[in-house]
Amino acid sequence: MFKGKNVLVTGSARNTGLGIAKVFGSYGATVFVHGRSAEQVEEIAQALSRNASTERERYLPIAADVADENDVARAFAFIEAQVGGLDVLVNNACHLGLGYSFLDMPIAFFDEVLGVNLRGYALCAQYAARQMVVRGGGAIVNIGSNTAERALRDRAAYIISKGGVNSLTRAIAVELAEYQIRVNFVVPGYIYTERWDALPEETKQRRWQNVPLGKESSPEEIGEAAAFLASSKAGNITGSSLLVSGGIDIQLVPPDCAV
């Protein structure tokens, strides 16, 4: 499905991003594995290449701070030099924004979270789109969050940033359509990451009650959704969201709170 296509998945050295990178690789893409540590992404790219299930898979490392325009410019110049430019960008790099209530949150922390989750998305989308214009089109998939519509406590900066991702997606989808660049976003609920392994069993059981299907999404499920939106199968879809949340968004209250 992506044979001969070049894909960048930001924040793909671990957790959700790694799962997304694996999905695109399995469909034959050349995937740039991204993180802030050059040593880490080199190791991950080599491991993915060694464990590839098909000969079509290709993984290349790329290190950059997505909130730093100089770093982003350098990264995209590297991509162009290596493969000629991008066909697909998956904006996934994420600052979880944990640690402060709104009343206690330093504004520098607010800037830090939005720097990764919103400024970083915009920067990468802008640089990717410039390459896609030259290549005659492409696809950008932003990984959002259902918290953009449904708030959590003590996560104000994160929630605000994800609301911005929704607006960013629609804004640039309109502007980039004339260049045959489609822009969409995946809206996850709970996603399994290594953080789940440290949770008490009763906490996990309580979380699952929030989800009608009774389980969190896997990184690979998020990857499959992103791959669909980036593929020719979604060729007339832009500015849209795809919920991958096990139904958490349609449930008013979990069973133990039913009225």
Rounded Cα distance between 28 and 58, Å, is: 8
Rounded Cα distance between 199 and 26, Å, is: 31
34 in Cβ contact with 233 (< 8 Å): no
Compute, in degrees rounded to 10, the torsion defined by CA atoms 3, 34, 16, 59: 30
Q: Sign of torsion, CA 166 171 174 177?
A: negative
- The one-character DSSP state at 191 is B
First-to-last alpha carbon distance for the chain, in angstroms, is 47
Which two three-digit tokens encode residue 30?
């050349």
11 in Cβ contact with 35 (< 8 Å): yes
Catalytic positions, written as ranges:
158
